[in-house]
Copies of this chain bind each other. A is one copy, B any other.
Amino acid sequence: MTKQNPSSKVTIVEVARRGGVSLGTVSRVINNDVHVAPETRERVSKVMQEMGYVANRQARSLRGSKTNVIGVLVPDLGTGYIGEIMHGIDTELGVAQFDLMLFTTHRTAIKEANYVANMVRGMVDGLLLVLPRNPADYTGTLTHRKFPFVLIDHQGNSDPCPAVGATNWQGAYNATDYLIKLGHTRIGFITGSMDLGAATDRLDGYKAALRVNHISEDPRLVCEGTFFQPEGYSGACALLDIDAPPTAIFASNDAMAMGAMDAVRARGLRIPEDISILGFDDVPQAALVRPALTTVRQPLEQMGRVATQMLLDLLHDPSKHLDRIELPTELIVRGSTSSPKDKAG
């Protein structure tokens, strides 16, 4: 390696001088412009390599008015759920040679909408909004300003806009139907945050499956939560305390399902022999826990990938009109569910 002076900044003009060409030519070499003689290209390339040239992103962005960076707004990190989505986003951005700027909601809880509208302006070419809480606050502004964005995992209960979600209703329906087919008739349900479309859809899917199978709804079997693990614990406790307790508990996400598993075990009951437990999401941990959790798989990683592709599409052709996409959920049967043991036995 003959790197000359790695610490001092080597710009395009240095390269031009040393290569005996003009700025324009160097730029053309960098950007693979056709209009440059093979011989020149090679010579300039060699000089760049030797000098350890690295393009200045700000200058490039300033001139070209695109940053090759996309912003991702997440509520927090550290959950398997977000982790999976991020993985998908990250993978797809990697192949497209984009970088990722991370914004977390907890950091600027108050002025979130303003933040999205202003701060981000000029720093990123587009925005991926993961699990937005009240997207109506910004989707209007963003649409109006023609700023490219895609929502991930939020029910478009307002104006239609580019979004990626999963078939929550169908997933919950299938899972409930599966429990019924196993022989369960009293199935407890722990909801998610009912202000989220995903949560209401799952509840509706559950109810629909009961109805279709001619099982009457029992309000005492439905217990409200907000997607956090401790509510799975307390919810399951409440469900086990009613007169005719359920033989299966369907939690609206895996975190609550794991809380429910703990509650069931704390009562000295066995899973799945005494109580079946079913979750939603299929976070990586669901397969690692014992017994492994039967759950409705949301293709989280894929959702991240698809959303990213949509956004890149949008960047490429801003006039393109994209709408909500729903990816299919899938029931993953593992060890936490089985037929109820015979009551008479």
Contacts and interface: CB of A to CB of B under 8 A. Distances in A.
A283 to B, nearest CB: 8
A77 B87 contact: yes
Interface in A270-297: 284-285, 288-290
A164 interface: no
Interface string A245-269: 0000000000000110011011000
B122 A57 contact: yes
A123 B99 CA distance: 10
A144 B99 CA distance: 25
A25 B145 CA distance: 28
A107 B84 contact: no
Contact of A102 (B57, B78, B100): B100
A45 to B, nearest CB: 15
A168 to B, nearest CB: 21
Interface string A70-105: 001000111111111011001100100001111110
A6 interface: yes
A56 B58 CA distance: 10
Contact of A78 (B79, B104, B265): B79
B78 A230 contact: no
A312 to B, nearest CB: 16
A30 interface: no
A123 B7 contact: no
Interface residues of A, number: 58
Contacts of A67: 58
A118 B78 contact: no
Contacts of A212: none
Residue from A90, A119, A145 whose CB has the most chain B CB atoms within 10 Å:
A90
Interface in A35-78: 54-59, 61-62, 67, 69, 72, 76-78
A164 to B, nearest CB: 18
Interface of A: 6-7, 54-59, 61-62, 67, 69, 72, 76-84, 86-87, 90-91, 94, 99-104, 106-108, 118-119, 121-123, 144-146, 229-230, 233, 258-259, 262-263, 265-266, 284-285, 288-290
24 contacts: A6-B145, A54-B121, A56-B62, A58-B58, A58-B122, A59-B62, A72-B102, A76-B83, A77-B77, A77-B83, A78-B81, A78-B87, A78-B284, A87-B106, A100-B102, A229-B285, A230-B288, A233-B288, A258-B289, A259-B288, A262-B288, A262-B290, A265-B290, A266-B290
